[in-house]
A and B are shown apart, each in its own frame.
Chain A
Amino acid sequence: MNVAVSPNNNTVARKPKNRAWERFKANRMAFISMFILIGLVLVAVLAPWIAPHDPAEQDLLNKLKPPSADHWFGTDDLGRDLLTRVMYGARVSLAVAIFSVIFNLLIGITVGSLAGYYGGKTDSILMRFVDIMLAFPQFFLLITVVTLLRPNLFNIIVVFVLFGWMGKSRLLRGQILSLKNREFVDAARTIGMSDFRIIFRHILPNAIAPVIISATLQMGSMILTESSLSFLGLGIQPPQASWGNLLQSAQSLTIMTKAPWVPFIPGFMIFLTIMCFNFIGDGLRNAFDSK
């Protein structure tokens, strides 16, 4: 009963947001994951200043060396410092994940809101377009388009944005369909609010939680997709490092047997990051779900 509210206490009501945050904090894995991710983002952003070596600096006499005081993660087959390359790789992987998901959200939210709120023809046209986009096998489409364009960071993000927003718009459309006939929406109309304001101010905050959760989980899958592309040699091109092409360049049997840390470390980073995003996604789902 410690949360019982006496009618004359002067505290401001705890916002639903704050309670969600408390539930999120109570989920230990999600909370830890959040800190790991913040750390990763910091390292990625600060890589040019904190990396111990130059990412392209080769030292052929010291190639495939095991971890040491000078090279914490050892060196790769060209004698480059693996820690530095992993740090620079994080920049690419996280940038791809974060930017493509942000733009995915923008497109997905716009399309989903319009389709859900206006219904009728608008809905049919937009949703059939979504169906068409979803009908293509995503990964092969990515490979095709990336091959046609030059595979660099910008193009990869563009392609991920073009082919990644459909799920969000569908999710949001469903939410909005169920919300738009609620009485508070009618009430907003009776006080003369514009459609734009009703959608973005009244409906969206009620509908956004599952979309945010899906976006968090999508960050993980974006990293995995980028890594897969790079692993196939279609993603970020060496010498620029990404976690995927670090793995690709460690494919030879010699490296795998003589220097297992070279594939292991980028692989582990991919694993760790995706795990973190998934735990956070789960944590958010529990936090937003008030039942």
Chain B
Amino acid sequence: MPEAILEVKSLRTVFKDKHKELTVVDGIDFEIGPNEVVALVGESGCGKSMTSLSIMQLLPRSAEIAEGEVRYRGRNLVGMKNKEMAKLRGRHISMIFQEPMTSLNPVLTIGMQLTESIIRHLGVSKVEADTRADEWLKRVGFPEPARIRREFPHRLSGGMRQRVMLAMAMSCRPDLLIADEPTTALDVTIQAQVLDLIRELLKESDMSVLFITHDLGVVAEMATRVIVMYAGQIVETTDVRSLFQKPMHPYTKGLLNSTPRMKGDIEKLIPIAGSVPPAGMYPPGCRFADRCPLAEAVCRAEAPQLREVVPGHRVRCHLA
């Protein structure tokens, strides 16, 4: 296997105040290889976004990385000077967010925001940056880029803004794109449009993507490998095909049963009972035990380890 673009090693991220420490990401390990699309899946509050912010070193002030490493092409990003990190952000690692409506600055034109990172990271002239911005706007599907460049964000729709965000994220040709629920806030047709676009951009470049989502439909469409997170831990990780064909963790099965599908004989969607326990209130055994239909005595007594059940397929469950 060629060298990984991103390696996350036993990452533990905590929220901290004077009195206590809350672990929200609890010992996560994964790798992203070149040109790989890895989906990070899980319910709200399972630590997906905190993982992505830990990678970018953009955690909120109250949170910090307590343990572990985040290596980009071998360089550890944890503890890196902010100045160094700023050189990587946008240039080598980019990110797009869930809310395109609020991710663009309302008082600057699209062009100003788009050329900013091009000028900063690639050191080209204003005119050259404008040309490149136009190229990117064209690639993300704006037929009249020069006009869009002069527009302010409020004149664009959500889908248009997300495409602008994508152009911004791509404009310096990063190796790694972190897409944090990029389609959640968009309606379905626009979702498809944005996903198609990401796929197309992937084909043209050898970029890797960390795709954070809770939409398994999107996972099936985009990802090569899937990481399922629950309560701050990885509970299952495998390639996309075996995840859908042979899910092993009861949580993953639950997620699949609660997702509508066009084919198949599922008549009713079966929800997973209960909700994710809040950080700091985890049960001593398996964190999913209280919601698990299969839970046995051992599940409540002993915390399961993530183990490789089938080559390439790792599961954190006693029963798998």
A residues near B, CB below 8 A?
5, 10, 12-13, 15-16, 119-120, 181-184, 186-195, 197, 201-202, 205-206
Asked if B120 and A205 sit within 8 Å, CB to CB, the answer is: no
Q: A residues within 8 A CB of B86?
A: 189, 192-194
Q: A residues within 8 A CB of B103?
A: 183-184, 186-187
CB distance from B171 to the nearest CB of A (A): 9
**A-binding segment of B105-113, B130-138, B255-263, B282-290:** B105-113
Asked if B120 and A193 sit within 8 Å, CB to CB, the answer is: yes
Contact with A along B50-73 (1 / 0, CB 8 A): 000000101011000000000000
Q: In which size bucket is the chain B interface?
A: 35 or more
Contact with A along B138-160 (1 / 0, CB 8 A): 00000000010011101100000
CB distance from B48 to the nearest CB of A (A): 16
Asked if B95 and A190 sit within 8 Å, CB to CB, the answer is: yes
Whether B90 is near chain A, meaning CB under 8 Å from some CB there, is: yes
Q: Which residue of B lies closest to A179 (CB)?
A: B105
Instruction: Check A10/B56 contact, CB under 8 A, given A187-B97, A192-B90, A206-B105.
Output: no
Q: B residues within 8 A CB of A189?
A: 56, 58, 86, 89
Main secondary structure of the interface of A (DSSP, over half): helix
Asked if B97 and A13 sit within 8 Å, CB to CB, the answer is: no
B residues near A, CB below 8 A?
56, 58, 60-61, 82-83, 86-91, 94-95, 97, 99, 102-108, 116-117, 120-121, 147, 150-152, 154-155, 165, 168-169
Further 12 A-B residue pairs, CB within 8 A, beyond A183-B99, A205-B108: A13-B155, A120-B61, A182-B102, A187-B97, A189-B56, A190-B56, A190-B95, A191-B94, A193-B86, A201-B116, A202-B108, A206-B106
Q: A residues within 8 A CB of B121?
A: 192
CB distance from A240 to the nearest CB of B (A): 43
Asked if A202 and B105 sit within 8 Å, CB to CB, the answer is: yes
Asked if B97 and A183 sit within 8 Å, CB to CB, the answer is: yes
Q: A residues within 8 A CB of B117?
A: 191-193
CB distance from B269 to the nearest CB of A (A): 32
Docked Cα-Cα span, A197 to B89, in Å, equals 15
Q: A residues within 8 A CB of B154?
A: 16
Asked if B104 and A192 sit within 8 Å, CB to CB, the answer is: no
Instruction: Check A192/B147 contact, CB under 8 A, given A16-B107, A187-B97.
Output: no
Q: B residues within 8 A CB of A187?
A: 95, 97, 103-105, 165, 168
Asked if B168 and A191 sit within 8 Å, CB to CB, the answer is: yes
Asked if A12 and B155 sit within 8 Å, CB to CB, the answer is: no
Contact of B58 among A5, A186, A202, A205 (CB under 8 A): A186
Docked Cα-Cα span, A119 to B61, in Å, equals 10
Instruction: Check A191/B58 contact, CB under 8 A, given A183-B102, A202-B105.
Output: no
Q: Which 9 A-B pairs have the closest CB atoms?
A: A191-B90, A192-B90, A192-B89, A191-B117, A190-B95, A183-B102, A184-B105, A205-B107, A187-B103
Q: B residues within 8 A CB of A184?
A: 102-106
Q: B residues within 8 A CB of A183?
A: 97, 99, 102-103
Q: A residues within 8 A CB of B107?
A: 16, 205-206
Q: Which residue of A lies closest to B143 (CB)?
A: A8
Docked Cα-Cα span, A72 to B70, in Å, equals 80
Q: A residues within 8 A CB of B99?
A: 183
Asked if B89 and A190 sit within 8 Å, CB to CB, the answer is: yes
Docked Cα-Cα span, A184 to B112, in Å, equals 13
CB distance from A55 to the nearest CB of B (A): 46
